[in-house]
Amino acid sequence: MTAVTDLTAFVYREARLLDEHRFDEWLQLFAPDGRYWMPLEYGQTDRRLTASLMDEDLFLLRLRVERLKGNRTYSQKPKSRCHHVLQQPQVDVFEPQADRYVVWTSMHYLETRLDQHDLYAAWATHELTVIDGALRIRMKRVDLVNCDAAFGSIQLFL
C-alpha cells in the first residue's frame, strides 16, 4: 500500500535522477501512457487546443534523452547540468483504492552550461498511479511562474 511518505520520496528521487543525468532510470518512472507537459500560459487547462512549451509522450521523451546522450549533439558539448531545489511536496489527492495520487511541489531549477546560468521558478504537479506495485508518472505538469516570458532553450527537464 502506498503511503504519503512514498509519494514525497518519489518526487525527491525523480529530481535526483534528473540532477545526476540518470535519464534512462528517470524514463522508467513514467507509465506507458505517461506525459510531460509544460504549459505556455498561466492557468492553462487544455494542452491540445493551446500551444505549450513542452507536451511530450514517452516516445518523445525517449527521443529527447537519446539526443542528450548522443555524441553528435554539439549543443551539449559540454553537457548542460541542472539542480532542483524543492520545497516539501504536498499531497493533494490520495486515493489508494483507485491507485490515484496527485502531488504538488514548488521548486527552483537551475540549468547551467559553460558560463550561462538559467534560473526558473516553477510548480510541478505529478499525477501518479501504481503499476505492478510501483509508483509511475501518468502526467508531470510543470508550470513556470513566468511562463509568458521569452525563453532561451531549456535543454533538460524541470
C-alpha cell at 79: 553537457
Percent of the chain scoring above 90 in pLDDT: 60
pLDDT grade for 127, boundaries at 50, 70 and 90: very high
What is the overall mean pLDDT for the chain?
Answer: 90
Helix, strand, or coil here: 73? coil
Query: What is the average pLDDT across 48-63?
Result: 91
Helix, strand, or coil here: 12? helix
Whether 141 and 128 have beta carbons less than 8 Å apart is answered as: no
Q: Scan for cell 527537464, then name that residue.
A: 157
Answer with the residue of higher pLDDT: 149 or 109: 109
Give residue-wise pLDDT tens across range 70-108. 777 666 667 788 899 999 999 999 999 999 999 999 999
C-alpha cell at 99: 491507485
Residue 155: its pLDDT value, please? 61
